[in-house]
Amino acid sequence: MGVEKQYQHVFHKSHINKVMVVAFTGYAFDGDYEDGGHGLKLGLFRCNGARVAKKTVKESRRDDNNNLKYDGNIVREKGDVYFVDCNVTGSDEGTSDKPKFSLKRLLEDVMFPLIANLVSMHGEYAGYLPVIQGDNAGPHQDKEFMDYVRNYCNESGWKWEPQAPQMPHANNLDLAVFPSMSKSHSALLSGYHKCTEPSTDDIWKCAESVWKKLPSCTIARGYMHAHRILKKVVEQRGCNEFLRTKDFHTGVTKDYRDIDCGIEKVIKTEV
């Protein structure tokens, strides 16, 4: 028939593409925590750093013998600066060869000034008291990071209230935001590549898109869930067995209604 058989070559990768991000959310309430409040998207950041190219790099291809050849167009010249995804640290920024993503630098340059502006005299939440919560993961236990955060909060009159370690049900991101984003992110990403692995840029682009569409009410409900779950932790004297039972439910769904900026408490009337 004049149709020649084609052979497909499959190459195993020792790793999969992944992108680490850091997210910041907030819950602004006036009066009682249980009265409802605003869910705030403060920032989503890709954990990357600047690296200096040590040599000229060209695009790669496979020749007729399936050997890898680097003889394509020039991707970057020696000495060029480009960004690479990297690990998160407390304060270590790494080197030009092996950069790292410093949480201290992110708070110092971006997040703390942003929060300070929000609660300033002319800010949207003037007079509010910021309570900063960390999850006690490895980077949060870095001494230089801890000293900086504590000193900044003390000098600014803010509160630093880190949660106990290994308690994802105690913070809004692990409990509500990331699970909510995950489903939407997977659905959106599937449209980019049907048969090949998405690039790190594709992953980040989808994460940004999902973050921008994340409703404020989802953030606010997550904070309320965490607040009520921690009440149960106190009642159970630190035990978390209730997480495996129906006692995990806290009634937030029926007690609050969604509004554009967050949630408000449902006023129940007796008939």
Please answer whether residues 35 and 60 qualify as being in contact, where contact means their C-beta atoms are separated by less than 8 angstroms.
no
74 alpha-carbon distance from chain centroid: 34
Q: How many CB atoms lie within 10 A of CB 102?
A: 23
Amino acid (one-letter) located at 43 = G
117 membership: H or E segment, kind and range: helix 112-118
Delineate the domains of the chain, giving CATH numbers in brackets.
21-47+86-265 (3.30.420), 50-83 (no CATH)
Return the H-helix or E-strand segment holding 265.
Answer: strand 262-265
Question: For residue 72, with 0-12 CB atoms within 10 Å meaning exposed, 13-18 middle and 19 or more buried, which class applies?
Answer: exposed
Alpha carbons 104 and 93: distance in angstroms, whole number: 9
Cα(29)–Cα(221) distance, rounded to whole angstroms? 12
| All residues at 6 or more sequence positions from 70 whose CB lies less than 8 Å from its CB, including other chains | 57, 58, 59, 60
* pLDDT higher than threshold 90 for residue 11: no
Mean pLDDT over 154-174 rounds to 88
Mean pLDDT of the chain: 85
- Range with lowest mean pLDDT among 116-125, 193-202, 232-241, 257-266: 193-202
Separation of alpha carbons 47 and 70, rounded Å: 28
Nearest to 226 by CA among 26, 22, 3: 26
Tell me the Cα Rg of the chain. Answer: 24
For every residue of 170-200, DSSP letters joined together read: GSHIIIIIHHHHHHHHHHHHTTT-SSSPPPH
Q: For the whole model, what pTM was predicted?
A: 0.81
What percent of the chain clears pLDDT 70, i.e. is strictly above it? 90
Tell me if 23 sits within 8 A of 222, measured CB to CB: no
pLDDT score, position 221 = 93
What are the beta bridge partners of residue 61? 69
Determine the average pLDDT of the residues in 87-100.
90
**Tokens 């004049």 sit at which residue?**
2
Q: pLDDT band at 24, cuts 50/70/90?
A: very high
Strand runs labelled E in 148-235: 159-160
Residue 80 is predicted with a pLDDT of: 84
Q: How many CB atoms lie within 10 A of CB 173?
A: 19
Top-confidence range, 164-173, 203-212, 245-254: 203-212
Burial readout 127-148 (b: 16 or more C-beta within 10 A, e: otherwise): eeebebbbbeeebbebeebbeb
Q: How far apart are CA 89 and CA 138, in angstroms?
A: 8
